[in-house]
Amino acid sequence: MNIIPITQHNRNQVSEFFQASWGSAEMVISSGVYDCSTLDGFIVLNADKNIIGLITYVKRGKEIEIISLDSIEEGKGIGSLLIKSLEEVASQGRMEKITVITTNDNLHALRFYQKRGYFLSNILVHAVNKARQLKPEIPLIGNDGIPIRDEIVLEKKFIY
């Protein structure tokens, strides 16, 4: 697997990945509205130079917020590799924490992040209802038939 930073050279490929995977690069969460194809991040390419994993983020002061994390080949360590790459950025920049927001139905993400040292720091009740006002195509029902209502904030702190 080859992990590389997102640059102007590969932004079209990143945009195409979001379009194919999600129908749009727009992410609407309580922290803002983002065009993920314009954000900093990393991609993982397979031998055919196709994106099989991607992470995007924004920096705010001493905090990094993960905006998106995708792996299309589960169980191969792609997500872990992307998180490690971002944590290296955080460490090099002496950031205080990394945060990520997921929805209440995303039990896979909750498991994934907590196994890597992230903890639940806030629950934003009915936040997804507010996001639907800006992006009505957000589904009402998510993984495992769970209604999508709330956002859960996870974070990992760094001490130097």
**Is the pTM higher than 0.85?**
yes
Confidence of residue 109 (pLDDT cuts 50, 70, 90): very high
Domains of the chain: 2-157 (3.40.630.30)
Per-residue three-class SS string for the chain: CEEEECCCCCHHHHHHHHHHHHCCCEEEECCEEEEHHHCEEEEEECCCCCEEEEEEEEEECCEEEEEEEEECCCCCCHHHHHHHHHHHHHHHCCCCEEEEEEECCCHHHHHHHHHCCCEEEEEECCHHHHHHHHCCCCCCECHHHCECCCEEEEEEECCC
Query: Is 1's pLDDT higher than 80?
Result: no
What was the pLDDT predicted at 21? 86
What was the pLDDT predicted at 51? 95
Confidence of residue 36 (pLDDT cuts 50, 70, 90): very high
What was the pLDDT predicted at 126? 95
